[in-house]
Structure 1
Amino acid sequence: MTEQKLLSCAKSEFLEKGFLGASMRSIAQKASMTTGAIYRYFPDKNALFEAVVKPTADEISAYFEEISSYQLQLLEYNETVLEYESMQKGMLQIVDFIYDRFDIFDLLINGSNGSNKEHYIDSLMELDLSSTQAYIHKLSQLNILQHSPPAHLLSILVKQSYRQVLEIVVSRMNREEAFEYMQLLIPFLYAGWTSLLETQNNSNKAKEEKQ
């Protein structure tokens, strides 16, 4: 019980002040402990921050890995992921996922500077980049991709798309504001990626619509 109380108080301190501004002394006071007692549980502030965020951070990583695998599985059945309704549904589910764990997303994105988790979101971006590269490669294997961007530009585009979605956390929007923002962002991202990753099917549809 003491350790759980300590983690709860540490989480409150980190959310309020971020990793750099958080004080072990202040955390000890909130937990009605001595600073020395905290060090019997955790050797330093980094270890304490890690204990606060790790369970949810692991869950987040697993969730995004699952999304990546699902996208590639769809291609095995010759189904495209870039259908608008599918993309919209998936992205709104991600928003729900974020807001059900918003405090930890907030810590990882806005409050982790100086900690060992400072680059955690970068690792998620790299995961998404690898997934996108695998998706493009699979489209090429299926001979349904018209063209693809150079690798160095793809990296920039993926990371910028990621940042646009995570702006809901950076700006600390409430859930209602986030859904309003996503209703504008999703069509923007959809138009950009469908144009960038033009497939034979999309190209044929466009020609038919012109006729």
Structure 2
Amino acid sequence: METLQSDSRTRMDSRSRILEAARDEFLRKGYRAASLRDIAQTAGVTTGSFYWHFKNKADLFEALTGPHVQAVMALYDQAELQFEQLTPPQQRHKMGEIGAACAEQMLHYMYQHLSAFKILFRAAAGTRYETFVHDLTQKEIVSTNRYLAQLQQEGQPVSELDPWFPHLVVSGMFTAMFEMIIHGLPEDRALACLRQLTAFYTAGWRNIMGL
């Protein structure tokens, strides 16, 4: 029994060392140039031990980042559902409030898992998550366009927009938000900047939406 527990602890320790070595390797070299041999060597494990834990480099990257991508997407989806469940007058009143709260939750989560998101934003080219920022942007664009159409149906004097405009605004917001992670702003400064950003974008959208 003690031998089985010891073996289990050893495997978990090896896995932790591999993940730690992989974080450094991906951040230094990016996904494509990262070497599994170098990761195993840095972690102090054999290649056989590596493949006990992970099928390949993609599986390793998934272990480091996948759960965090899903968590951020879930935060967004929860906020979107919360907004959709409101009555139209409540939506007009709480539009900026719900969006700002969601952005703050996402930012806080990212700072709690900073290394994972630095890898996502700087080293994901060649992985299934290289379009993470684009995918999140697209979700918000779809939601924004749907709400603009709803306002028009309700008779709101919505400004006529070029089809590209929502993309420019939404991508600008997310890019600004994620740049704070990439450039290593302390969380308190990032939060202060985010609140200014959301106030800025909310005021602009309210003007365009005639709210």
For structure 2, the 5+ residue unaligned runs are 1-11
| Counterpart amino acid of residue 173 in structure 1 | L
Query: Counterpart of 2:19?
Result: 7
Change over 3 Å in CA distance of 1:100–1:145 after alignment to 2 = farther
Residues 101 and 22 (structure 1), Cα distance of their counterparts in 2 relative to 1, 3 Å cut: same
1:158–1:85 CA distance, 2 compared to 1 (3 A): closer
Contact 2:19/2:60 (8 A) holds in 1: yes
User: TM-score when scaled to structure 1?
Assistant: 0.79
Residue identity matched to 1:101 = H
* CA RMSD of superposed structures (Å): 2.6
Q: TM-score, length-normalised on structure 2?
A: 0.79
Residue in structure 2 matching 1:179, options 187, 191, 208: 191
Identity of aligned residues (%): 25
1:74 alignment partner in structure 2 = 86
Distance 1:90 1:45, change over 3 A: closer
Counterparts of 1:1-211 in structure 2 under 5 Å?
1=12, 2-76=14-88, 78-80=90-92, 88-199=100-211
C-alpha spacing 1:66/1:83, structure 2 compared with 1 (3 Å)? closer
Mapped partners of 2:132, 2:99: distance in 1: 25
Unaligned runs of 5+ in 1: 200-211
CA distance in 2, matches of 1:119, 1:89: 24
Give the whole-Å Cα distance in 2 for the aligned partners of 1:51 and 1:88.
Answer: 29
- 1:73 maps to amino acid: Q
Q: Take 1:93 and 1:173, find their aligned partners in 2: how far apart are those partners? A: 17
Mapped to 1, the partners of 2:106 and 2:127 lie a distance apart of 25
